[in-house]
């Protein structure tokens, strides 16, 4: 829950603050506790920001902005924007664009969804690994994929990955994310009459698949029901 996720970093901040009140603490240790406070404060901010974004999406019944979105240049832009983060992890991002598909929807939200999937793939890739961001199409659907060569999805997590606040530890740091990114992607997919899936790829690693309808959305597109 939101309360549980915020309590953990708050406890870390409180503990570090109490220790900093002790006299005679070595400078190196003091710097370490200050860095811990800064890190946990940033984590709380990320949780709050993501939760506000997700709540705003969940309350929408329709897309507020709808226009044709060319997916090839969108994926090229997302891949280019992820190069710095990938380089820090020594991960290569490769594009596999096999279609010039056009969907209709909110380009900002679609860019956020693809960026989340690519960031996840980079996070779970080993140093020296490769992430493939792909685009293919059928007669009715665009299929966007993000494939890594990391440890894949454990069996116990396969039915939980889209739950709010559920997160797996990153292999390189053992740290977890806010656990809201994939829930955010799922809401975006739903608003676009699409679907998001995450599973294990043949040959190892994880494979995310975002499916979107081609062409125009119905004018009442978005969430169905009251």
Smallest CA-to-CA distance from 186 within 178, 176, 196, 177 is with: 196
Q: Do 87 and 194 lie in a common domain?
A: yes
Model confidence at 22, pLDDT cuts 50, 70, 90, reads: confident
- φ, ψ of residue 36 to 5 degrees: the values are -65, -40
Q: Do 51 and 152 lie in a common domain?
A: no
Q: Do 50 and 73 lie in a common domain?
A: no
CATH number at residue 142: 3.30.565.10
Q: Do 140 and 188 lie in a common domain?
A: yes
Angle, helices 27-58 vs 181-191, to 10°: value is: 20
| pLDDT, tens digit (0-9, with 9 covering 90-100), for 35-77 | 888 877 877 777 677 667 767 776 776 787 889 999 999 999 9
Q: Do 134 and 177 lie in a common domain?
A: yes
Q: Do 39 and 85 lie in a common domain?
A: no
Q: Do 82 and 38 lie in a common domain?
A: no
| pLDDT, tens digit (0-9, with 9 covering 90-100), for 117-165 | 999 999 999 999 999 999 999 999 999 999 999 999 988 888 888 887 6
Q: Tell me the C-alpha distance between 114 and 188, whole Å.
A: 10
Domain containing residue 8: 2-58
Q: Do 119 and 202 lie in a common domain?
A: yes
Q: Do 33 and 73 lie in a common domain?
A: no
Query: What's the total number of domains in the chain?
Result: 2
CATH number at residue 41: 1.10.287.130
| pLDDT, tens digit (0-9, with 9 covering 90-100), for 167-185 | 776 766 656 666 778 888 9
Q: Tell me the C-alpha distance between 6 and 108, whole Å.
A: 28
């Amino acid at each position: 829950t939101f309360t549980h996720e915020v309590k953990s970093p708050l406890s870390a901040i409180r503990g570090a603050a109490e220790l900093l009140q002790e006299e005679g603490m070595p400078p190196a240790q003091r710097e370490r506790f200050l860095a811990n406070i800064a890190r946990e404060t940033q984590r709380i901010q990320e949780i709050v920001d993501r939760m506000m974004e997700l709540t705003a999406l969940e309350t929408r019944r329709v897309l507020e902005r709808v226009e044709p979105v060319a997916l090839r240049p969108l994926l090229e832009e997302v891949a280019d924007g992820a190069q710095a983060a990938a380089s820090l992890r020594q991960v290569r991002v490769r594009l596999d664009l096999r279609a010039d598909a056009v969907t209709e929807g909110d380009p900002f939200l679609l860019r956020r969804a693809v960026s989340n999937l690519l960031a996840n793939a980079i996070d779970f890739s080993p140093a020296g690994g490769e992430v493939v961001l792909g685009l293919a199409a059928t007669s009715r659907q665009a299929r966007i994929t993000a494939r890594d060569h990391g440890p894949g999805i454990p069996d116990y997590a396969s039915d939980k990955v889209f739950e709010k606040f559920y997160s797996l530890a990153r292999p390189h740091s053992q740290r977890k994310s806010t656990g809201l990114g994939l829930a955010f992607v799922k809401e975006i997919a739903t608003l676009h009459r699409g679907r998001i899936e995450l599973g294990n790829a043949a040959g190892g690693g994880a494979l995310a698949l975002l499916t979107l309808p081609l062409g125009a959305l119905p004018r009442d597109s978005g969430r169905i029901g009251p």
